[in-house]
Amino acid sequence: MANCLKVGILACFAESPNKMRIKTIVVILIVLAGCASTQTQYEREYRRIWREMIKSEAWANSLAMNTVSSQAEKLPENEAEAIKMAFDAHEDAKDAVDPVSQNPSPYTLFFKDYDTMVSQAYFSILAQAEEADERLELEYRNTEIQAKDPHYPKDEAFDEKRKTIMQRYQAHRKMLEGLKAWDIFSERRSGDLRYFKAENLQEVYAMKLQNQPSDKIVDFLVYKLADLYHFE
């Protein structure tokens, strides 16, 4: 077992400044340092929980759509810059305390669709996370009852199991709290939602230009949301 601990962010693979900002809301895991090639029991157990969550047709579709997106042609530089500027103006108008009317841009309808698709993806993965949270909480509470039962046999293996269950439950709860902090319909919603949308803006727009159906793009966004706190 490693001698020191470090706080690990599950979305550590992110490279862009926007995702670095998004990383602040994802689940924080305690991972053992010094043995990068060796999975800890905690990592294995958390991985197992996620595999249970994502064994679904929707998840398989989202993986497929991520492949489609990665193969899509990139937008020309001038169009990429134009849609970025239009997006910023669109979001600024929504966030303004006293919004003023905006002249419609060529992307206005797309932004409306994009907002809808992000919302659908968000609520889809939030529902999955809440369902997993119920299972983890039940497992945690049952283990604590056993720990307090003087007649329940306890040994080193039980103590290790109890520790792992507690860590996994706490990590998942932090992740769920982070997702709920987005509060996407509130005026006080987290700014991380905007960064997520900006990060995936060009890919989604390119997919729309390819006439990809909205439900498939939602699957792709589910995959990207899961990337924030799931690792392989």
Query: Which mean pLDDT values do the consecutive 10-residue runs of the chain (232 residues) have?
Result: 35 40 36 40 56 54 55 71 86 63 75 92 86 90 94 93 90 80 62 84 92 91 75 36
* pLDDT computed for residue 230 by the predictor: 53
* pLDDT computed for residue 18 by the predictor: 45
* pLDDT computed for residue 148 by the predictor: 94
* pLDDT computed for residue 149 by the predictor: 94
DSSP the chain: --S-EEEEETTTT--SHHHHHHGGGSPEEEEESS-TTS--HHHHHHHHHHHHHH-SHHHHHHHHHHHHHHHSPPPPHHHHHHHHHHHHHHHHHHH-SS----PPPTTHHHHHHHHHHHHHHHHHHHHHHHHHHHHHHHHHHHHHHHHH-TTS---HHHHHHHHHHHHHHHHHHHHHHHHHTT-TTSTT--THHHHHHHHHHHHHHHHHHTT--HHHHHHHHHHHHHHTT---
Q: What is the pTM of this model?
A: 0.59
